[in-house]
């Protein structure tokens, strides 16, 4: 069974650069003359990052639980609720407190409303990811058995069917043609917020991570021996999604916001681009020396990825408020400067909080879901 390795782990670092890019993309819309290319770079070409995190999660789970093994559900769930559930609730409440402080009265602290926000990951715009991840944990025995079923019935056929089912489901969920206002309130909310909790939107990517875990050596051998083909596939999807973006931008006069909603990660273009990006980055990492400065920086991001992910919207909101207060006009250079500043502040905060957590284990548990390992001499 493969162990955690730096190729897969360092995907977290490259994914964090993508996630921060997506969120910084909102600054482009505040520019007097929005740069369509910069917006595409940040808001479209960075969207491999969210599904890629589910690939990493699938890899990690199937490393520990091979298809022929048994999943002891309650101990499994207890461990995952601690590692993800605790920090999710804690950071959700911290963001609610922060928004209440900077915008008094914007949050209703009624228990029902707090439960609603927590269930759908609405305390802050980035936390829905952790809700979907928790649902992957809740339902993992199903996907564990599905992988075993694929092995018995033929992996190629199983994954081919799952691939087409994923495309079909994602197309439907993006174009449901359902009037949710006619549904009872509970079903209406479940439908309207389906992108915030349903793991089905990322099932193929998650299972692909499992495939990479179970057949890791074959996976690495395949992408390295077909490195040219992987590059061609990546470039093709890059032009496919970028070309679609500009085709609708110029020919149909789509606004930038509509373009993002059209070519997000669940679209056909976004789905293929995500797969190609995963193969491309894994192939590049497998051929990159660990002493390479860029690789070392990505590894630093990877090590600090959880707190960087959780804290960067806080710094982004601070930067946004300071820019508005100072009357700073957004330009492409300033937006890129904000991007690099946000990365730096988030990494620094993560390192600081990690050091603080090493002295206060209960704080580390609350913020990261893990207690620091005791030093051994």
| Mean pLDDT, residues 104-123 taken together | 96
Tell me: the pLDDT tens digits for 239-265? 999 999 999 999 999 999 999 999 999
Q: How many CB atoms lie within 10 A of CB 177?
A: 5
In angstroms, rounded to a whole number, what is the distance separating the alpha carbons of residues 32 and 58? Answer: 42
Using the predicted structure, report yes or no on whether residue 2 has a pLDDT greater than 50.
Answer: no
Give the DSSP per-residue string, 122-169: -SSTTTHHHHHHHHHHHTHHHHHHHHHHHHHH-HHHHHHHHHHHHHHH
Question: What SS3 class is residue 110?
Answer: coil
148 Cβ neighbours under 8 A, 6+ residues apart: 67, 68
Q: How far is CA 358 from CA 53, 354, 355, in A?
A: 26, 6, 5
- Return the pLDDT at 217: 95
- Mapped onto helix, strand or coil, the DSSP state of residue 258 is helix
Per-residue pLDDT band at 1 (split at 50, 70, 90): very low
Mean of the per-residue pLDDT values of the chain? 95
Mean pLDDT (whole number) for 22-30:
97
Reference 220, options 212, 210, 228; nearest CA is: 212
* pLDDT of 353 higher than 90: yes
**140-153 and 49-64 helices cross at what angle (nearest 10)?**
80
Q: How far apart are the first and last CA of the chain?
A: 30
Over residues 180-229, the pLDDT tens digits come to 888 999 999 999 999 999 999 999 999 999 999 999 999 999 999 999 99
At 30, list the tokens.
């505040």
* Predicted confidence (pLDDT) per residue in 155-173, tens digit: 999 999 999 999 999 999 9
Are the CB atoms for 128 and 134 separated by under 8 Å?
A: no
Question: In the prediction, which pLDDT does 64 show?
Answer: 95
User: What is residue 374's predicted lDDT score, i.e. its pLDDT?
Assistant: 64
pLDDT greater than 60 at residue 375 = no
Query: Residue 372's pLDDT is what?
Result: 83
Q: What is the reported pTM? A: 0.96
Examine the pLDDT at 3 and tell me if it is beyond 60: no
CA-derived radius of gyration, the chain:
21
Are 25 and 46 in contact, with CB atoms under 8 Å apart? yes
**Confidence label for 83 from pLDDT (cuts 50, 70 and 90):** very high
**pLDDT tens digits, residue range 272-288?**
999 999 999 999 999 99
Query: If you average pLDDT over residues 326-337, what whole number do you get?
Result: 97
The region that residue 124 occupies, defined by phi over 0 for left and psi between -120 and 50 for alpha, beta otherwise, is: beta
**Using 50, 70 and 90 to split pLDDT, how confident is the model at 376?**
very low
């Amino acid at each position: 069974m493969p162990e955690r390795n730096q190729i897969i782990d360092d995907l977290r670092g490259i994914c964090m650069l993508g996630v921060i890019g997506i969120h910084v993309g909102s600054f482009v819309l505040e520019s007097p003359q929005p740069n369509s290319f910069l917006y595409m770079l940040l808001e479209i070409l960075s969207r491999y990052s969210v599904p890629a995190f589910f690939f990493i999660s699938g890899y990690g789970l199937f490393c520990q639980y091979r298809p022929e093994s048994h999943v002891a559900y309650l101990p499994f769930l207890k461990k995952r609720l601690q590692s993800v559930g605790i920090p999710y609730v804690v950071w959700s409440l911290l963001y609610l407190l922060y928004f209440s402080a900077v915008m008094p009265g914007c949050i209703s602290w009624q228990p029902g409303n707090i439960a609603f926000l927590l269930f759908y990951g609405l305390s802050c715009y980035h936390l829905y990811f952790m809700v979907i991840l928790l649902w992957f944990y809740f339902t993992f025995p199903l996907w564990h058995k599905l992988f075993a079923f694929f092995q018995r019935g033929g992996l190629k056929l199983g994954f081919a069917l799952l691939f087409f089912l994923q495309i079909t489901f994602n197309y439907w969920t993006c174009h449901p043609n359902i009037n949710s206002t006619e549904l009872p309130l509970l079903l209406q909310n479940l439908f309207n917020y389906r992108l915030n909790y349903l793991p089905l939107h990322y099932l193929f990517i998650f299972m692909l991570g499992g495939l990479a875990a179970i057949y890791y050596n074959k996976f690495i051998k395949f992408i390295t021996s077909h490195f040219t083909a992987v590059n061609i596939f990546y470039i093709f999807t890059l032009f496919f999604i970028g070309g679609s973006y500009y085709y609708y931008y110029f020919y149909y006069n789509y606004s930038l916001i509509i373009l993002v909603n059209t070519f997000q990660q669940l679209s056909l273009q976004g789905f293929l681009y995500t797969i190609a990006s995963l193969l491309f980055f894994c192939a590049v990492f497998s051929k990159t020396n660990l002493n390479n400065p860029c690789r070392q920086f990505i590894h630093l991001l990877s090590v600090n990825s959880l707190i960087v992910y959780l804290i960067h919207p806080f710094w982004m909101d601070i930067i946004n408020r300071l820019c508005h207060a100072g009357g700073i006009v957004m330009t492409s250079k300033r937006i890129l400067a904000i991007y690099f500043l946000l990365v730096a502040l988030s990494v620094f905060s993560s390192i600081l909080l990690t050091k603080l957590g090493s002295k206060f284990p209960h704080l580390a548990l609350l913020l990261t879901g893990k207690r620091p390992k005791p030093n051994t001499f």
